[in-house]
Amino acid sequence: MKTTRDMGAQDEDQQKGRLSSVSMAIRILKAFEGDDAEIGVTELARRLGIAKSTVHRLVVTLMAEDFLEQNRETGRYRLGLELFGLGSLVRNRMDLSTEARTLLMDLRSETDETVLLGVPAGPEIMYVRVQPSRQAVRISAEIGMRAPYHSTAAGRAILAFQPESRIAALVGAPLPLRTPKTVTDPDKLRKLLGNIRRLGYAVEDEENELGMRAIAAPIHDAQSDVVGAVAIAGPVQRLALKNLNGFAEALLVAARAISARLGHRGSRGAGDF
């Protein structure tokens, strides 16, 4: 019978093995940074100083995830489309953040409240740019902070314009009750999303954090896809709902301007500029 210490050591060895495999997989991908667009298993093994069998096993795994693909004629490998997709995603987010910076600062100056830029990040949104209010009492938000779709203005502004399959997947899953005001009922949430599509912006009233309200509008790219949202947020003692809705025009102007900088030109409705 193995002792707890033996089992712990075994788990640690297994973990080190998994981490080692990840490291070697990354080294394989980085081997394509040079001039060679295609490289064979033998050459990869030679360059990296690891066994051909190990390289082959990792290459097969990377191919299964579309990080590598094989040239059927030469048998050599090249970088796959999944890496291109991930690179494009990173580039688009960087482009969005860069293009939005000045307009977000202008919106902060106009409203004197905190302005945030959120983008989709898997099952949540992520704030990639924050312009804090200069007032003493303001919301606390940082770049890289994640938040749910269903309980935030920015999240709803993004979610409302996603494909129906994505909306159904999120609305159909159990949704956490962030505050007593959070809407978690699927039918009510769908109705909210419909109103957002009609108005072109979303409002959140203490549903993600007590004492905070926000309003957000979607940002479209050149293909008319919603790639983010700009939000204005502040404390309830300063932002009555009437005051919050009063920011809608300035918010929509900023969202349209950011969308235009990303190449958006179409106009198909209230939410699509």
The third-level CATH classification (topology) of the domain covering 4-79 is Arc Repressor Mutant, subunit A (1.10.10)
Q: Please tell me the distance from the alpha carbon of residue 196 to that of residue 269, in angstroms, as a whole number.
A: 11
Low-confidence stretches of the chain (pLDDT < 50) are 1-18, 268-273
Q: Whose CA is closest to 271, among 199, 214, 223?
A: 199
pTM, two decimals, is 0.66
Quote the pLDDT of residue 8: 44
pLDDT at 91: 55
Mean pLDDT of the chain: 85
pLDDT per position as a tens digit, 221-270: 888 999 999 999 999 999 998 889 999 999 999 999 999 888 888 654 44
* pLDDT for the residue 111: 94
Per residue in 60-76, pLDDT (tens digit) is: 999 998 889 999 889 99
Determine how many CB atoms are found less than 10 A away from the CB of residue 215.
30
* Residue whose C-alpha is closest to residue 213's, from 249, 258, 246: 246
The domain limits of the chain are 4-79, 85-261
**Residue 92: per-residue pLDDT:** 54
Angle between helices 52-64 and 4-30 (to 10 degrees): 80
- Would you say 199 and 161 are in contact if contact means Cβ atoms under 8 Å apart? no
**Which class does domain 85-261 fall in?**
alpha beta
Residue pair 117/251 in contact (Cβ under 8 Å)? The answer is: no
The predicted structure's pLDDT at residue 113 = 95
